[in-house]
Amino acid sequence: MNWWETTLAILGMGAITLLTRAFFLIPKNELPLPDWLKQGLRYAPLAALAAVIVPEIVMSQGELISTWKDARLYATAVGTAYFFWKGGILGTIISGTSVMLALRIGLGW
């Protein structure tokens, strides 16, 4: 690509980014959303979080884990159990992390 094409590509990507990120800020009035869409958008953060975390728990090197000797499985189980038992985020993080470190450092998993 020459200088002109590079500049045009950068300006075009900047304009598209600005338009898509400011789409909801451009109108002066609030955009009306149907109730079914509002209900569906409530689950978007949870779905995005699950899409990021679940592959990290059940996959290693791009493949599903094939053994039960994986510290991530036990740390996830302990963290989930703690969350349903007490409901605190900090305790969930601490319990899951402590199990993971104990298994990784103590048993070498």
For the chain, what is the radius of gyration of the CA atoms? 22
* 74 has a pLDDT exceeding 80: yes
Give the pLDDT confidence of 5-63 residue by residue, as tens digits. Answer: 999 999 999 999 998 888 777 777 877 889 999 899 899 998 998 999 999 898 988 88
d(CA 87, CA 11): 47
Distances in Å between the Cα of 51 and the Cα atoms of 23, 46, 48, 63, 72 are 25, 9, 5, 16, 16
pTM: 0.60
- Residue 94: CB atoms within 10 Å: 13
| Segment 52-75 mean pLDDT | 90
